[in-house]
Every structure is written in structure tokens, then in C-alpha cells.
Amino acid sequence: TSSAHEKLRRVDVDGSSAHVRRLYKDLPRRAASQLTQLRTGHVGLNGFLARIKAVPSARRETCHVPETVEHYLLHCKRYT
């Protein structure tokens, strides 16, 4: 959908289809799927799961902050 396309464009610095093709070119399907989930924020972290009402809170139980992709990859003491 165009909405999903716009979300991807906001995530990517370049946003061009050539840039995206380079990102995914040699990745196995599973890795490409995981990269897409991380880039769009549609991943099994509480931040997203709370948005779709699958869990009661966006907060990470151990850190007590919203569990977003940025937190998970860059700030969470447990994973960084």
C-alpha cells in the first residue's frame, strides 16, 4: 500500500528503490523479512504489539521504557 511505502521512505535515508534493492540483494529470505520488520517497526516488540492491542503495555518489563526498535538495538542494556 502507499501508506506502507511512505513509512519505508521515512525510515530510509535514501528511500530510492535502488537503495532498497542493495539492502536486500544478497540476503536470505528470512533475514530480508527480519530487516523489513525492523525497518518498519512491525516487529514482535512490545511497542508494536501494544499498538495492535496484543499486549497491555508498550513498556519493556525489565527496563520500564517503551520497547521500540531503537531501544532494542541501541539502548537496552540487556542486548547492547
pLDDT band at 78 (very low <50, low <70, confident <90, very high): confident
Predicted pLDDT of residue 48? 96
Give the integer Cα–Cα distance in Å for 80 and 78: 6
Task: Determine the angle formed by the axes of helices 29-40 and 2-11, rounding to 10 degrees.
Answer: 80
Sequence ranges of the domains in the chain: 1-40, 43-80
Using one digit for the tens of pLDDT, what is the confidence trace for 2-42? Answer: 565 565 556 555 556 787 788 888 999 999 999 889 988 99
Q: Whole-model pTM?
A: 0.68
Using one digit for the tens of pLDDT, what is the confidence trace for 37-58? Answer: 998 899 999 999 999 999 999 9
